Structure 1
Amino acid sequence: MTMLTVHLPRRFSSLTRAPGRSIESFQNNRIIPLSSIRVTKDSSFKLRCIRKDSNHKASQAFSVLKTDLQSDNGSTWSTMAFYVFSLHIPLSFGGLSVVAQLLNQTHLNPDIQALSLLLIQTLELGAFMLLLQFSEKPFNILSFFKTRVFPKERNWLLASVIGLGFLLAFIFLTSFVADKLIGPKDVNNPIMKEVLSGGPLSVFWLALVYCVVTPVLEETVYRGFLLTSLASRMECKKAVVISSIVFSATHLSIDNFLQLCVIGVVLGCSYCWSGTLISPFIIHSLYNLLILVVTFIS
């Protein structure tokens, strides 16, 4: 008969003795027939808990974000809903129309469009920062950009290089495949194309919007606030995916939804790994700069 030697503590509820089986006890070991051991529901439950806990620890080991914020789930989503429907959509998608009505013009010239975009994005950023200060648990925006003391292999510069390299490789690969399967695609941002065709001043204002103000705004909202709040209540990978879906959805672009999701995942991972918004800000800014250059020369 096959024998299994195990050390049993005095209280061991996960292993039970089958009826009719004998257990021969020794001073230090108890020799139990293998066929007489059966795993109870309690032990299988413990195994599942251990496996889940190990996966959670591995996920949290990747992230250096704080998990003791104790943020309220309802407050997080109510803040996001107010921002999206009361600030983001009206300003980002209707701001230029309001400016045109105020100036009593049917069409804005490139310089005014670029300057208006800068003012609108700055207003949206300021309004969101003010919104966070009046939330139940105010966030310190500047703390998101602070560099914390981590090992050298976790510095924000390395995270920026890795994230940007992966993002550019993904974008070029998907663009190449799309061009082969569907064909070349026209520029889907006519406002950007029109402003870039203006003078140097309009190009400067537009670059300031897309490479500075917009990255600061979106990284503060979707990574600094939303991802940080979610990561305090769930695994890092789930928080990154959810925040990336929200980030993509609020751009209201069906054609670019998947691509924006991947961009959000890259930015979210760089934030979780480095612990500072400097890394995703640099990636976001350089990516937008590349888009401006490609749009300008196309």
Structure 2
Amino acid sequence: MEEKRGSLQDLLRSQTWRQRPPRGAHLNPTGFSVLSKDVPWEVESTWSTFAAYFFILHVPLSFGILPTIARLLHQSVHDPVITAASALTLQGTELAGFLTLLYYTANNRNKLPCFFIGTSYSEQRNWLKASALGIGFLLLLVLLTSILADRLIGPKDIDNPILKEILLYSPISKSTCFLLYCFVTPLLEETVYRGFLLTSIASGRKFWQAIGISSFAFSLAHFSLENSLQFFIIGCVLGSVYSWSGKLVSSVTVHSVYNAIILLFVSIS
């Protein structure tokens, strides 16, 4: 009887060991995307949350407020320092407002910081490698689409006189401009369109569908019809980098480097 009981216990132990996955096996990423399906907010309220951000924060802070600030400071709206500093302040306010919106709409507020850092699956992916590849692909695709657009539509003047004036006006305006476009803007847009929107959509759809939808929203948010295709491509590359790495820092890095290259190009052109 004791022998049978011992044999039965040994059999149960062996079966339990076989059914238990090897240590760390659950960390092996499967497929291209490693984004978590467990988001800390209601997926059903994704578009209502995005609409609240878009119409309460993005549109008002993007249009109409800069002239008001200039009048309050008794400065010209075209003053490069005022323009750069105001844009930096407004985008910082927009970022803070969106993070506040996420905080108060989240089901589990304690998961928010860890959520944007990355999931357990993302530990298997090298975000620096993803960033480097993303920058290369992004520059290549933008170059190819620019060449194609020049042949189909004709050459377009890419010089931005307002941006160039800000970059060349003074060291203060130039530093503020780089801080805005290489840090605040990438952090804001990647948090909104990749960290929140793409991840929320991907929790209920295939990742490539989420990349396409979020990139379309990213393109529309720039209110530039002539550059809409380019913004869509940029969004797709950034979304792919984020989906593969699972870390927001990778897409922020690509976005920052790309913007820095554009600023350098504008300043020397």
TM-score normalised by the chain length of structure 1: 0.74
Aligned counterpart in structure 1 of residue 139 of structure 2, from 140, 152, 168: 168
Contact persistence 1:141–1:220 (CA under 8 A): no
Aligned counterparts of 2:104 and 2:263: Cα–Cα separation in 1: 35
Aligned counterpart in structure 2 of residue 87 of structure 1, from 52, 57, 72: 57
Structure 1: which amino acid aligns with 2:227? Answer: N
Are positions 1:275 and 2:243 aligned together? no
Which fold has the larger relative contact order, with Cα–Cα distance below 8 Å and residues 6 or more apart in sequence? 2
Structure 2: which amino acid aligns with 1:187? Answer: I
Which has a greater percent of helix?
2
Q: SS of the counterpart of 1:104?
A: coil
Aligned counterparts of 1:188 and 1:130: Cα–Cα separation in 2: 36
Contact persistence 2:122–2:246 (CA under 8 A): no
Structure 2: which amino acid aligns with 1:94? Answer: G
Flag structure 1 segments of 5+ consecutive residues without an equivalent.
1-59
**CA shift for structure 1 position 237:** 0.9
Contact persistence 2:122–2:247 (CA under 8 A): no
Q: SS of the counterpart of 1:171?
A: helix
Are positions 1:285 and 2:256 aligned together? yes
Aligned counterparts of 2:37 and 2:229: Cα–Cα separation in 1: 29
Q: SS of the counterpart of 1:62?
A: coil
Pair 188,133 (structure 1): closer, same or farther in 2 beyond 3 Å = farther
Alignment of 1:115-126 (within 5 A): 115-126=85-96
Alignment of 1:247-262 (within 5 A): 247-262=218-233
Aligned counterparts of 2:123 and 2:43: Cα–Cα separation in 1: 34
Contact persistence 1:271–1:277 (CA under 8 A): yes
Contact persistence 1:129–1:141 (CA under 8 A): no
Structure 2: which amino acid aligns with 1:248? Answer: S
Structure 2: which amino acid aligns with 1:230? Answer: I
Aligned counterparts of 2:36 and 2:175: Cα–Cα separation in 1: 38
Aligned counterpart in structure 1 of residue 74 of structure 2, from 72, 93, 104: 104
Which has a greater percent of strand?
1
Alignment of 1:70-219 (within 5 A): 71-137=41-107, 141-148=112-119, 154-187=125-158, 189-219=160-190
Are positions 1:63 and 2:33 aligned together? yes
Alignment of 1:7-22 (within 5 A): none
**CA shift for structure 1 position 95:** 3.0
Same amino acid, percent of matched pairs: 50
**CA shift for structure 1 position 105:** 3.4
Q: SS of the counterpart of 2:31?
A: helix
Structure 2: which amino acid aligns with 1:116? Answer: S
Structure with larger Rg:
1
Structure 2: which amino acid aligns with 1:169? Answer: L
CA offsets 1:161-217 (integer angstroms, 9 cap, x no match):
111111100111122233344443223644322211211111000000000000000
Structure 2: which amino acid aligns with 1:154? Answer: R
Structure 2: which amino acid aligns with 1:202? Answer: S
Pair 259,141 (structure 1): closer, same or farther in 2 beyond 3 Å = farther
CA offsets 1:253-285 (integer angstroms, 9 cap, x no match):
101111111111111111111010111011100
Aligned counterparts of 2:152 and 2:204: Cα–Cα separation in 1: 42
CA offsets 1:113-147 (integer angstroms, 9 cap, x no match):
11111111111100111111111535655334425
